[in-house]
Amino acid sequence: MSVAMPSTSQASTFKVAAIQMASGPNVAGNLSEARRLIARATEQGAKLVVLPEFFAIMGMTEQDKVVVREQEGTGPIQAFLSDAARQYKVWLIGGSIPLAASVPDKVLNSCLVFDDQGRQMARYDKIHLFNLSLGNESYDEAKTIEPGNKIVVVDSPFGRIGLAVCYDLRFPELFRAMKDVDMIVLPAAFTETTGKMHWEVLVRARAIENLAYVVASAQGGYHVNGRETHGNSMIVDPWGRVLDRLPRGSGVVIADINRTYQASLRASLPALEHRKISC
């Protein structure tokens, strides 16, 4: 497990935001829209902002993201994330971006975390790769994405944050292996086909199981490439209550995180202490 350096202090109550987009193939245009939404989130008091999966590019073909992949630590998408975090003085979780993989025709689907000084604090490479063949709809992420192999938890001023991306949501053992995180962030681009039946159920289940807040930031709407994503970005509390949601389109979902309330729930229902099987 990769763990960032611990913070010296933690806020008990603060606002977080999940940003929803309907990204297209133009990186510059997507970054401009992301900046606008980050600004809106911070105007509403957000101290931590989460962007959706592949917020910077949803290409016309699956190879488009390979063309714009970046080496870690350099490139316009990473520069944007660092600059925005520093400019707006927020912890910014960069949904996911395409980073160079060990083979030239694939990318790593990487979630990057920047602190409010613009410093990269963590990187998580998506472990579980989506594969669907249902009627006329089919996806096989393994053709262009190399899977990660490390669980990543970040110690931050807001508590322990577990990182996951989209299809990871279906694998509860990943979240158990994070070891008692306070918050789970889940950038995603769930399809409408699977999302309308499974998205909310799974997001709320992960919150309830782990008595953790879940900040799920999604792609939501129709994309230039013809794809439809489910949207419904939401923030869910440790009791499974949806605090805020956005069904479709670009926008900001925002809610208060209350870690005193979370501690009270964990004391009242100490399910995490009752586990008999360890991951």
Nearest to 80 by CA among 14, 33, 149, 18: 33
Task: Characterize 62-72 residue by residue with b for buried, 16 or more Cβ atoms within 10 angstroms of its Cβ, and e for exposed.
Answer: eebbbebbbee
- What phi and psi, each to the nearest 5 degrees, are found at residue 159? 100, -170
Residues annotated catalytic, as ranges:
53, 126, 166
Q: In Å, how far are 71, 140, 160, 205 from 123, measured between CA atoms?
A: 13, 23, 14, 25
CB 131 within 8 A of CB 79: no
Rounded Cα distance between 222 and 1, Å, is 36
Name the region of 45 (left: φ>0; alpha: ψ -120 to 50; beta: rest). Answer: left
Amino acid at 103: V
> Running DSSP on this structure, what letter comes out for residue 102?
S
Residue 44 CB: number of other CB atoms within 10 A?
Answer: 11
